[in-house]
Amino acid sequence: EENGHENKRLKRDADEEDVEDQNKKSPKRKIVLLMAYSGKGYHGMQRNVGSSQFKTIEDDLVSALVQSGCIPENHGEDMKKMSFQRCARTDKGVSAAGQIVSLKVRLIDDILEKINNHLPSHIRILGLKRVTGGFNSKNKCDARTYSYMLPTFAFAHKDHDVQEEVYRLDKETLEKVNKLLACYKGTHNFHNFTSQKGPRDPSAKRYIMEMYCGEPFVRENIEFAVIKVKGQSFMMHQIRKMIGLVIAIVKGYAAESIIERSWGEEKVDVPKAPGLGLVLERVHFEKYNRRFGNDGLHEPLEWTEEEEKIAVFKEQYIYPTIINTEREEKSMVSWLNTLSIHDFSSSVVGMQANNKNSK
């Protein structure tokens, strides 16, 4: 009898050791994943638990994490359990080449390969790094860089009859575009560049580090250019409205002074450029890297080794989607036709003043 008890105890101990061994092999660790995706057909990055008709990038990601065995199924239902945090909430249709998410996972063997096996080809995990236990990708991020790819005929003056495939951006127009984009640099009140924020809301103040338009290039007979913008953080639709307003000025619909005016308290009608060309290029963790990047335990959150994979993904999935969708759906052409219905000259304050004067 004693021997029987002993055997049972030994078996139980052995079972517990097996479980412990398994856990030791794949313990839960805080990591970041470097993600790239084409956002067409998705309602943005962030998951909306409970509204399954709007598919998001995170729906596909969480499903792949569960299927690959990185997280238990119940963590997929309640993302707080795995301390999940995305660095940027990309809007509907917006793509990313360097999105970062932080979460706790089981570090299984061949983890990237296994997650990617359960993802569609237009969503890829390109890199993984271990981070500190308290790391939060949204709070620790000190800047974000976006790009916006657009056909250059968007900058053609409204009084010129433009053949889209023939149009080529001249040097003077590009210089004018860059002069206007540079006006956004520094800290300004961007309440007119998003919805649901009043002029006195402190969170409407945002800091822009750089903004410029690169040299144009031709793809599928259409000339495109890429605008880059780096800022501390951005509000919903902010970048698309910043670009929309510059296009309206260059096309001759609005005066240059409207940019300065838009930072004041009055409500200004700012048009929002289409979402198609917007791409989250990279996110910056400069403070974190200075503090933990070389402490011997953690790697800096830099992705030089992954640069080539990022470039290949953009060429394969992001740029062709933007170019083909533009050719087929003509989202920029349709949007440009709406610019004439915006009222760039008047404002609520201006109209009130005019009324007083006429009285």
146 is in an annotated binding site: yes
Would strands 95-106 and 85-86 be described as parallel, antiparallel, or unpaired? antiparallel
At position 7, the amino acid (one-letter code) is: N
Query: What is the C-alpha to C-alpha distance for residues 148 and 48, in angstroms, rounded to an integer?
Result: 26
Catalytically annotated residue among 91, 109, 161, 343: 91
Query: What is the C-alpha to C-alpha distance for residues 5 and 7, in angstroms, rounded to an integer?
Result: 5
User: Catalytic annotation on 91?
Assistant: yes
Query: What is the C-alpha to C-alpha distance for residues 228 and 146, in angstroms, rounded to an integer?
Result: 6
Q: Is the sign of the CA dihedral 264, 268, 273, 275 positive or negative?
A: positive
Query: What is the C-alpha to C-alpha distance for residues 80 and 70, in angstroms, rounded to an integer?
Result: 15
At position 282, the amino acid (one-letter code) is: R
- At residue 39's C-alpha, the angle toward residues 37 and 45, to 5°, is 85
At position 247, the amino acid (one-letter code) is: I
Annotated binding site for substrate: 146
Active site residues: 91
